[in-house]
Structure 1
Amino acid sequence: MNTELLPREKLLSYGSERLTDQELIAIILRRGVKGANVFEVSKKIIEKYENFIQLYDISIEELQKIKGVGQVSAINLKASLEMGKRYHIQKMRYKSKKMESPLNVYNYCEDLIHSDKEIVRVLILDSKLNLIIHEDVSIGTANASIAHPRDIFKKAIIHNAVSIILVHNHPSGDPRPSMQDYDLTEKVKQSGEILGIKLQDHIIIGKNKYYSFNISRMVELDDR
């Protein structure tokens, strides 16, 4: 492979997967500024933020503090990172229609990690634990959400669900359950028994970790 090729030429000749992180950023930025070409700017970004996970969480204002990164460049970079995140979520959802494990549920609901408010989501399942549909039934504050069993089971009844999985996020990133979480789980479980719709699990989504009430423990994942 010709190592002298510019990033765009390299992409056309060998595919995007052969580009380094620095080269990908250089293509997105398009140009540098006087005293700092685009390769130097992209190198500064890579040196300052070790990976795309860290870079995703950086604000446009913070990116603009790097010499050579203007508002347009920062917006392009943020939009590209968001597109990558959505691709990952959609790919995991496509692969994980069968909700037979807490990890499958985590992968499907990974978008909740990035919410700054608590969201209660219901996964509605058939007899083989295949996902029929999901619904967000409550959007709360940064540290609390309000969900009623009536709202949780409403769509499950419409779709003739056999069971459901309850999911919500903790914006703090720590998925350890609160007393309110225990209370909600018990109420939903009891309501499901009356309706004949089983609560398979209640999973709390955190940052690279989750808590499953079914296995009664927290699971930590590798950085992703």
Structure 2
Amino acid sequence: MSANTSNKIVPKNVPYYDRPRERLLREGAAHLSDAELLAILLRTGREQETAYQLAQRLLATFGDLHGVAQAAHSELTDIKGIGQVKAIELHAAFELGRRLRLASRKNPAVIRLPRDVADFMIPELSHLTQEHFVCLFLNTKNHVIGKQTIFVGSLDSSIVHPREVFKEAIRRSSASVICLHNHPSGDPTPSREDIAVTHMLRDAGELVGITLLDHVIIGDGKYISLKEQGYM
């Protein structure tokens, strides 16, 4: 009876000795597939379906691991075999991964090029489902000394108030500011509103003596610098 119970969580097409847990211990987590790692988090499947098979179905439903990570709680619990507890544990695991990426960048390199800005912020912004307008505050040596999300929502010049951007810059004694926002569509091409906001912030920065170095738009793993594009 106990042997049958144990075999319920073993993928039908994978030998007993190649269970994900055993493979992780034997070979290390880096050698496991996305489905195998998810199966370890899920722990159990349901009747007629192993944890591994449930993980495969989860990936197929949302397209890939990124899709699973971005799924809302209600979307996860709509999947047969994913209850409240499993959905919460998945959210927690993905959030820990996100925080680990952020923690590894707490002492960023000097920001000198738009590519530096993109490398610093793409992991945080490229997969968000809403627009986030973020400011990086730099010292005279171009080190990032602070980061602030100014607002969440569609970019509009009536919403982005220069006072919010530069109030924070002044409070931090910043020498310059870099603004960023993401395009959830994945296409970082600037809109007319993006360009108008850039001009407004550039002009406001000149008035208060804090330079707007760039406005970078983040897409799906891609970016566009409005400075490089000649809009500043």
Q: TM-score range by the shorter chain?
A: 0.7 to 0.9
State the number of aligned residues: 214
Q: 2:145 aligns with which of 128, 132, 148?
A: 132
Q: Per-residue CA shift, 1:186-223, capped at 9, x if unaligned?
A: 22222323333222111122222222111118xxxxxx
Partner in structure 1 of residue 88 of structure 2? 75
Structure 1 counterpart SS, 2:17: coil
Q: Partner of 1:123: helix, strand, or coil?
A: strand
Q: Distance in 2 between matches of 1:47 and 1:118?
A: 26
Q: Does 1:154 align with 2:155?
A: no
Residue ranges of structure 2 left out of the alignment (5+ in a row) = 1-14
The alignment yields a C-alpha RMSD, in angstroms, of: 2.9
Q: Is the 8 A contact 2:181 2:216 kept in 1?
A: yes
Aligned counterpart, 2:6: none
In structure 1, which of residues 72, 90, 98 is the aligned counterpart of residue 103 of structure 2? Answer: 90
- How high is the TM-score relative to the length of structure 2? 0.76
Which of 14, 19, 22 is the matching residue for 1:9? Answer: 22
For 1:11, the aligned partner's letter is L
Q: 5 Å matches for 1:208-223?
A: 208-216=221-229
Q: Provide the residue aligned with 2:186 in structure 1.
A: 173
The aligned counterpart of 1:25 is 38
Contact 2:155 2:193 in 1 (8 A): no
What amino acid is the match of 2:132?
Answer: I
Return the alpha-carbon distance in structure 2 between the equivalents of residues 154 and 174 of structure 1.
30
Q: 3-12 or 161-170: which moved more?
A: 3-12
Match of 2:118 among 106, 109, 122: 106
What is the SS of the residue equivalent to 2:142?
Answer: coil
Shift of 1:184: 2.1
Letter in 1 for 2:222: K
User: What's the % identity of the aligned pairs?
Assistant: 36
Give TM-score, length-normalised by structure 1. Answer: 0.78
The structure-2 alpha-carbon separation of the partners of 1:164 and 1:23, relative to structure 1 and needing over 3 Å to count, comes to: same
Instruction: Give the Cα–Cα distance (whole angstroms) in 2 for the partners of residues 12 and 128 of structure 1.
Output: 45
C-alpha separation in 1, matches of 2:206 and 2:106: 30
Change (3 A) 1:44 1:201: same
User: Is the CA contact 1:143–1:170 (under 8 Å) kept in the aligned structure 2?
Assistant: no
CA distance in 1: counterparts of 2:164 and 2:59, whole angstroms: 46
How far is 1:117 from its partner? 4.1
| CA deviation profile, 1:1-52 (whole Å, cap 9, x unmatched) | x992432233234332232222211111111222112233223334555531
Q: Is the 8 A contact 1:116 1:142 kept in 2?
A: no
> Whole-Å Cα distance in 2 between the matches of residues 117 and 54 of structure 1?
15
Cα 1:46/1:135, change in 2 over 3 Å: closer
In structure 2, what is the Cα distance between the partners aligned to 1:206 and 1:188?
21
> Does 105-114 or 198-207 show the bigger shift?
105-114
Answering whether residue 180 of structure 2 is matched by residue 183 of structure 1, we say: no
Shift of 1:64: 4.3
Alignment correspondent of 2:65 = 52
The equivalent of 1:34 in structure 2 is 47
Do structure 1's residue 196 and structure 2's residue 209 form an aligned pair?
yes
In structure 1, C-alpha distance between the alignment counterparts of 2:193 and 2:154, rounded to whole Å: 15
Q: CA separation in 2, counterparts of 1:40 and 1:164?
A: 48
Counterpart of 1:221 in structure 2 is none
Quickly say closer, same or farther: Cα 1:173–1:66, change in 2 above 3 A: same
